A and B are shown apart, each in its own frame.
Chain A
Amino acid sequence: MSSSEMREPTFLVLAALADGRKHGYAVITEVSSLSSGRVTLRPGTLYAALDRLRAEGLVRPAGEEIVEGRLRRYYELTDSGAEALATEAARLQSNADQAISRLRLRPASGGGVA
């Protein structure tokens, strides 16, 4: 995972779990919040991602509880998950920094008048 590019929903799921354990619905709302409403995770997509991340050892279950008769299972990042998230965040930040520095060098538009 660390050597290849991470898809945005996966990145956002890991980012949602970065500050502590969360249950499924909390992950969905957190992903929406992190992406400013741009990414809406659906339940099937969430569980597909969680199952895959569990299989890759990046996420693990962290307890469950019954709230108003509903089961809530919590998930948290593993150390490998935190490392993969940090690597991906650094990669994205490096790309963003590069893009911003290039934009600063761009000649001003509007007939070449600075």
Chain B
Amino acid sequence: MNALCRAVLKCYPRWWRDQHGEEALGLLLDSADARGRVDSRDLLNLALHAVRLRVTNAGPPTLVQGIRNRVSVIAVSLLAAICSTFLIFGEWAPWDPRSSLAASPVGNLTTGSICFAAGLLAAIAMTLGRPTAARCLAAISALSALAIMAPPVEQFADSYGFTRPPGALLAFAAVIGALATIGEPLRPRGSRGLFTLLAAAPSIGTVTVTALTIQPEPWFFYRLPDEVALRVIGGGLVGIALLVVAVVLLIGGSRVWAAALAVNSLPWLMLLSFVPFLGDTSVLPTSGAVLLAMVIAVAMLAGLTAVTLNRRLQPVRNSVARSE
């Protein structure tokens, strides 16, 4: 009985166990003595409360919590880049009245617009300083991306004439959306906001430039299988850029942001593992190399900014420390 109660209490963060752990154990044992057994509903209630504390920013700030929050901030920015790109070039595309898929009752819209709209709204909510709403919208984006791929939902949408974007694309959006929900996407302030913008800039730049190189085939997102390699490599470049920025930030002393960027680079870098399966990789245009140079330059700029800020702030920090 005692062991079972202790096991459930281990679901709580350490700070909570330090504050209430022994007290809660005593309460559970008192309750069990009165009833003759441990009430499973009490244990379930404690477990749910523990989960709630873990997913919210309750308690004193910790390093892991800080990294989670920054992972979320960056992922929301990346989600915004992905979603706005697909909304404009894939779903809306007013310059291309042709539908690459089954005819849609509303313009070029597919069911993917739900996922992309939610992702974009998440970024807007974060910008407006509504982290909880941003987190919920990112979760809706991720879950709707998965739900759209479910055969019953697909059949239901198809009966109304709506098709869906390719599954790999939705799965990727779902992964980025899931990353956005692991922390509180609090709007960064000051120099940290600059870092976030710099983190989002390579992805926005890559997606935009890649999209422009595809003209006059704006429907490449959903239609052209021979362009898949380009998309994959473009995504891989984003991952490399994020990783480079992370390394430079690490050198500059911003460990938390560096860790958050490195986590966010993983899904993008994973795209590179698909390159050998695509066969012809000659589709990588010259602009790819130029783009890579651009994102590295942006990363170096971010790193230099970080180092400069760190050096400028150091005397201030030292004087504050001395005065304390």
Complex formed: what's the CA distance from A72 to B48 in Å?
23
Q: A47 — which chain B residues lie within 8 A by C-beta? A: 20, 24, 49
Query: What is the interface residue range for chain A against chain B?
Result: 10 to 19
Does A114 reach chain B (CB closer than 8 Å)?
no
Q: B50 — which chain A residues lie within 8 A by C-beta? A: 44
Majority secondary structure, B binding face: helix
Task: Kindly identify which residue among B25, B41, B42, B52 contacts A70, using a CB–CB cutoff of 8 Å.
Answer: B25
CB atoms of A43 and B48 under 8 A apart: no
CB atoms of A44 and B28 under 8 A apart: no
Task: Kindly identify which residue among B24, B52, B58 contacts A43, using a CB–CB cutoff of 8 Å.
Answer: B24
Majority secondary structure, A binding face: helix
Does A28 reach chain B (CB closer than 8 Å)?
yes
Q: How many residues of B contact A (CB 8 A)?
A: 21
CB within 8 Å of A: which B1-56 residues? 20, 22-31, 41-42, 45-50, 52
Q: A73 — which chain B residues lie within 8 A by C-beta? A: 20, 23
Does A11 reach chain B (CB closer than 8 Å)?
no
Q: B41 — which chain A residues lie within 8 A by C-beta? A: 42
Q: Distance (Å) between the CB of A30 and the closest chain B CB?
A: 13
CB atoms of B49 and A45 under 8 A apart: yes
Complex formed: what's the CA distance from A73 to B22 in Å?
9
Per-residue CB contact flags for chain B residues 290-306 toward chain A (1 = under 8 Å, else 0) read: 00000000000000000
B interface residues (Cβ-Cβ under 8 A, vs A):
20, 22-31, 41-42, 45-50, 52, 58
Q: What are 30 A-B residue pairs whose CB atoms fall within 8 Å in the complex?
A: A23-B23, A23-B26, A23-B27, A25-B26, A25-B27, A25-B31, A28-B27, A42-B41, A42-B42, A42-B46, A43-B24, A43-B31, A43-B45, A44-B47, A44-B48, A44-B50, A45-B45, A45-B49, A46-B27, A47-B20, A47-B24, A48-B52, A51-B58, A67-B26, A70-B29, A70-B30, A71-B22, A71-B25, A72-B26, A73-B20
3 nearest CB pairs, A to B? A44-B49, A70-B26, A42-B45
A interface residues (Cβ-Cβ under 8 A, vs B):
23-25, 28, 42-48, 51, 64, 67, 70-73
